[in-house]
Structure 1
Amino acid sequence: METMSSIECFVRSAEAGSFSEAARRLGLTSAAVGKNVARLEANLSVRLFQRSTRSLTLTEAGVRFLAEVGGGLAVIQSAVANLASADGQPAGTLKISMGTGFGRTYILPLLRDFLTRYPAITPDWHFDNRRVDMIAEGFDAALGGGFELPPGVVARTLAPSHGVLVAAPDYFDTRTPPGSPADLAQYDGVFIRSPQTGRIRPWSLRNKGNEQAPVAMRVRMTMSDPDAACEAAQSGLGIALVSMPNALRYLENGLLKRVLPDWYVDMGTLSLYFPAQKLLPAKTRVFVDYVVEHFRSEKFARRFSAF
C-alpha cells in the first residue's frame, strides 16, 4: 500500500506545478518530494508526471489518479486532524487569508476570545489585499468580497459589500457639494487599484431606484490599500471610493462623511471562503461558526449596507 506521504507529495506537486513549491508547502526538501513521487510511480508502474528542466505536468494517468485520490486525501487528513485534536478539542495550525485593514479591524479583535475557547489552535493569519489560491496555497479559509467562487471552494455570506463615496467633513467648506453623479467630474478622486490587474475598475453608481451613473471623478491618486485611501480622503486630498466595511469606522468616528449618500456601488458580497470537504477540519469549522455568529451579533450585514 502506498504511504500517505507519497500520495500527499504527488497531490501537492500536481497542485503547485513543481517539486520545489510542493516541498515549501510541505516543509520538506525538493529532493525528498521528488523521491517520494518517484517511489509512488515505481510502485504503481506508471508515470504520473512529465518532467523537464522548466516544467512539471501531469500525464494522462496522472490526471486520472489526481481526480481519484485528491478529494480522498483531504477527507483522510481532516479525519486524522480531528481525531488528533487535543483532548477532543479543535487543534492545529489555522491558516487564514484576509485583507489588511479589514482583518485588523474586524477579525484580529476576535483572536483573544477565540483562543480562550480553543487554546490548541495556532493561528497563521495572512494580512494581504490580494486574492489567494486557497487550495494551491494551503489556506484553511479566507475572508474577502467580490470574488468568483473557484472550484472546490464554498462560501458563507457575511454581509453586502457596498462601495461609498467619502470625504473629509470640511472638504466642502470651500467647494460646492455635488448634487448628482454628473457633478463628480469636477472633483479629485482617490481610487483603489485592483490587486489582480493593478488598474482602476470602472465602477457604476446606483441608487434605490436602480438608476446608474459612472464614477466620473478625476483620478488624482490611486492606492493599493483601502485604509490608505480613507486616510488620504481624511486629509482633504479628494473624494475616495471605498467599501463600507473599510469606511465604517471612519464614518462612525466622524473622520469622514458620505458624499452623495443616496448613491452607492454594488461590489458584491463579503464572504468567508473555505474548501468544500465532506469532513471539514474541526479547527476550520469552529472558526467559520465563530466569525459567522460574531457578524450576526454585531449586525454587520445591516451596518455594512449603504442604506
Structure 2
Amino acid sequence: METMIGMQCFVRSAEAGSFSEAARRLGMTSAAVGKNVARLETGLGVRLFHRSTRSLTLTEAGESFLHEIRDGLTSIQSAVDNLASAGGQPAGVLKVSMGTGFGRVYMVPLLAPFLEKYPAISPDWHFDNRQVDLIAQGFDAAIGGGFELPPGVVARELGPAHRVLVAAPAYFNERPAPASPADLHAFDGIFIRSPQTGRVRPWPLRNGSNQQAPVTLRVRMTMSDPEAACESAQMGLGIALVSVPNALPFLLNKTLVRVLPDWYVDGGTLSLYFAAQKLLPAKTRVFVDYVVEHFRTQELARHFSAF
C-alpha cells in the first residue's frame, strides 16, 4: 500500500507539475507528497523528477514510468475503492464539477434522495462554470455542455445544449419586439463571456429550417455567469443569450420571455463526463446511472430543447 501511495503521489505530481498542486488534489501536505515520491525513487533506484526551486520536470526514466503505470494505477485504485465500499455498498468521496446555476437548480435537489439510497457516498461538488481537466484534477465526473471530449474521458448525453434569446416582458412596452434576426442590431445585448477563452463566442442563430443568422445585438454588458445575465435581463437591461436550463426557471415564472422563439443557438449536447476505464468505481457508476435515469424520467432533455 505504501508503494501505491508513492505511485499515486508521483502520477499526480507529474500531471500537476508541482508537489504543492498534487498535494491539494490529493488532500495531503506538499511535504508528504515530496517524501512519498522520494521514497518511491529510493525503492526503484532511479530519479523520476528533475527538481529546482521553480520547476518540477520528469526525467527520461520518469516519463517512461508514468506511461507504464498511469492506466494500471487508475484500475487498481478503482478496485480498492470498490472493495472498501461500506457493507458492499458504493462508498467514498464523490468529486463532481458542474455549472453554478445549473448545479443549484437541477443537481442539489437530487442530493437527499441520492444519499438516502447511497448513504456511504460523500459528495464533494464543485460549482464552477469553467471546464475542468477531469483526470488531472482528480474529478470523478463533470457535467457541462459544448465541451470537446478529451482523451481518456467518455460522456453520457443528458440533453441538448441549446441557447435562446430572452428578455423581460416590459422591455418591449415602448418598442416592438424584433420580428427577425435582422432586427436585433437595434437592441441592447447581455452576453456570456466564455470561462475558457475570456471572450464572447460569436454563436450563429438557426431555425427549424436550418437557416442561420448572426446575433447582431449591441453589446450592452458582458457576464461570466448565465444566471446573472438572466437576472440582468429580468431588470429590463437588454436581451440575453443564455442556455435553456439557465433560462427555464425565469421563463416558467414569466419574468422572462423568449425573443424570436423560432430561433436558437445549437451548442451541442449537455453531457455527464467521466473517466474511460473498464473498472469504474462503484460510487461513480451509481452516480452516473442515477443522474441519467433522473433526466430520463423527468424528461429534462425535452424541457431543455429550444423547440
User: Smaller-chain TM-score range?
Assistant: over 0.9
2:294 aligns with 294
Task: Indicate the residue corresponding to 1:132 in structure 2.
Answer: 132
* Distance in 1, Cα, partners of 2:95 & 2:137: 10
- What letter is aligned with 2:211? E
Alignment match, 2:29: 29
CA distance in structure 2 between the partners assigned to 1:59 and 1:3 by the alignment: 20
The normalised TM-score by structure 1 is 0.97
Question: CA offsets, 1:263-304, max 9 Å, x none?
Answer: 110111100011111111111111000000000011111111
Matched, 1:46 2:46: yes
TM-score, with structure 2 as normaliser: 0.97
Structure 2 vs 1, CA of residues 2 and 46 (structure 1 numbering), >3 Å: closer, same or farther?
Answer: farther
Q: Aligned pair 1:187/2:187, yes or no? A: yes
TM-superposed CA distance for 1:134, in Å, is: 1.2
Distance in 1 (CA, whole Å) between partners of 2:54 and 2:76 is 32
Gaps of 5+ in 1: none
Give, in whole Å, the separation in 2 of the partners of 1:261 and 1:300: 19
Identity %: 77
Structure 2 partner of 1:64: 64
Instruction: Report the counterpart of residue 119 of structure 1 in structure 2.
Output: 119
Per-residue deviation, 1:2: 7.1
Q: Cα deviation per residue 1:167-216 (whole Å; 9 max; x = unaligned)?
A: 11222111111111111000000111111122111111011111111100
Separation (CA, whole Å) in 1 of partners of 2:255 and 2:178: 19
Corresponding residue for residue 258 of structure 1: 258
Give, in whole Å, the separation in 1 of the partners of 2:73 and 2:284: 17
Q: What is the deviation of 1:58?
A: 1.2
| 1:88-146, Cα deviation, whole Å (9 max, x unpaired) | 10111111111010000000001000000000111111111111111111111110111
**RMSD between aligned alpha carbons?**
1.2
Describe the SS at the equivalent of 1:103: helix
Structure 1 counterpart of 2:167, one-letter code:
A
| TM alignment of 1:151-190, pairs within 5 A | 151-190=151-190
**Distance in 2 separating the partners of 1:137 and 1:277:** 16
Distance 1:82 1:161 in 2: 33
Q: Which moved more, 1:270-279 or 1:27-36?
A: 27-36
Q: 1:3-60: CA deviations, max 9, x gaps?
A: 1111111111111111111122223222222222122222222221122221111122
Question: How many residue pairs were aligned?
Answer: 307
Q: Distance in 2 between matches of 1:126 and 1:26?
A: 15
Q: For residues 197-254 of structure 1, what are the alpha-carbon distances to aligned partners after superposition, in whole Å with 9 as ceiling and x for unaligned? A: 2211111101111111110000001111111111111111100000111111111221
Give the secondary structure class of the aligned counterpart of 1:264: strand
State whether structure 2 residue 84 is matched by structure 1 residue 84. Answer: yes
Of 28-37 and 295-304, more deviation after overlay is shown by 28-37
Moved more, 190-199 or 18-27: 18-27
* Structure 1 stretches of at least 4 aligned residues deviating more than 6 Å after TM superposition: none
CA separation in 1, counterparts of 2:60 and 2:90? 39
Q: Which amino acid aligns with 1:176?
A: P
The residue aligned with 1:107 is 107
